[in-house]
């Protein structure tokens, strides 16, 4: 069982238009609704791949109820803290003639200390069922920047394995608790380390620096170029096959899900990276906020190249 913790989930609405014209009336061709948030996406991918997962976090209002019902109807148990403020709504506008998509994201509810304490309790209740916890996504308003640091420390003290996928101050503070794994992109890693990260050599060096700093598995996502990983087994570059991409939304979350799945299955870190790159690539071929399908991940998997770097 892999648990995900999404403190600032979203009700995702995706609309498709043709030839979007700003400041004019545009006709919507199709509408899609999905539960959103990085951790929730990880749980959705894990469930699609047939692996047990449980979704934790904070929800509220009708939009939060939609998320809870959507997940539970698809066999994903939830342990959400429910509040009296509605879960935020995110709007993705897809111009079918001019990708990529435009995202309009609400900031979300305001969280207080009592709600964070309730989240801690839900984690402690869930840790009997799972050791691997994925903390992912932005922090809602009212959460101190060190909230992930606090929750990661809680999981570590109870013998769990925490994974962190966030950005900005939440990432800078969160890594102080030494999570088992992190997955910044090149820009986020550059901000953390205070230097430019552009080439493959730069990226490998950055991953190694994170490992030297106490992170056991450091992954830097490279978009359509794949992902770099450093760990005890070495430094690996995962290169995806060329595919026709539709939307990058959720691709990084799928990468995290695939790697975590590989870790749970004890495939070895190189094969876990292969699984992650395959899942991320499969999601990139889907429209809007849609995520990968198991059949496509399995088809892409043998086409992912893994290089061990010296």
Q: Show which residues are catalytic.
A: 253
For residue 274, give the nearest of 291, 262, 286 by alpha carbon.
262
Distances (CA, A) of 261 to 133, 223, 274, 283: 12, 20, 11, 16
Give the span between the Cα atoms of 258 and 45, in whole angstroms. Answer: 8
For 182-216, letters b (16+ CB in 10 Å) and e give bbbbbebbbebbeeebeeeebbbbbbbbbbeeebb
Burial of 302 (0-12, 13-18, 19+ CB in 10 A): exposed
Show the DSSP H helices in the chain as ranges. 38-48, 61-73, 113-126, 147-157, 168-174, 186-193, 200-212, 251-264, 269-284, 294-300
Q: What are phi and psi of 19, to 5 degrees?
A: 60, 65
User: Angle at which helices 38-48 and 61-73 pack, to 10 degrees?
Assistant: 20
Give the span between the Cα atoms of 304 and 216, in whole angstroms. Answer: 23
Distance of CA 160 to the CA centre of its chain: 19
């Amino acid at each position: 069982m892999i648990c995900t913790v999404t403190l600032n989930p979203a009700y995702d609405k995706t609309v498709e238009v043709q030839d979007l014209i700003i400041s004019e009336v545009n006709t919507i061709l199709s509408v899609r609704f999905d539960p959103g948030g990085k951790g929730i996406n990880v749980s959705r991918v894990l469930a699609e791949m047939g692996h047990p997962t449980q979704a934790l976090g904070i929800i509220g209002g009708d939009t939060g109820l939609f998320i809870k019902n959507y997940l539970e109807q698809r066999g994903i148990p939830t342990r959400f803290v429910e509040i009296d403020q509605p879960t935020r709504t995110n709007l993705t506008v897809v111009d079918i003639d001019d990708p990529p998509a435009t995202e309009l994201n609400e900031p979300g509810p305001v969280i207080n200390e009592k709600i964070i304490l309730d989240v801690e309790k839900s984690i402690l209740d869930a840790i009997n069922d799972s050791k691997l916890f994925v903390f992912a996504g932005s922090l809602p308003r009212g959460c101190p920047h060190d909230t992930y640091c606090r929750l990661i420390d809680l999981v570590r003290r109870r013998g769990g394995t925490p994974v962190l996928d966030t950005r900005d101050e939440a990432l800078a503070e969160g890594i102080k608790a030494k999570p088992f794994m992190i997955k910044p992109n090149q820009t986020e890693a550059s901000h953390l380390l205070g230097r430019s990260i552009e080439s493959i050599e730069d990226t490998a060096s950055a991953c190694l620096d994170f490992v030297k700093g106490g992170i056991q598995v450091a992954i830097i996502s490279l978009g359509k170029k794949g992902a770099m990983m450093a760990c005890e087994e070495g430094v690996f570059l995962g290169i995806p096959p060329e595919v026709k991409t539709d939307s990058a939304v959720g691709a990084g979350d799928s990468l995290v899900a695939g790697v975590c799945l590989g870790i749970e299955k004890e495939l070895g870190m190189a094969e876990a990276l292969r699984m992650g790159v395959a899942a991320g690539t499969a999601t990139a071929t889907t429209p809007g906020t849609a995520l990968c399908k198991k059949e496509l991940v399995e088809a892409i998997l043998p086409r992912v190249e893994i290089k061990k770097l010296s």
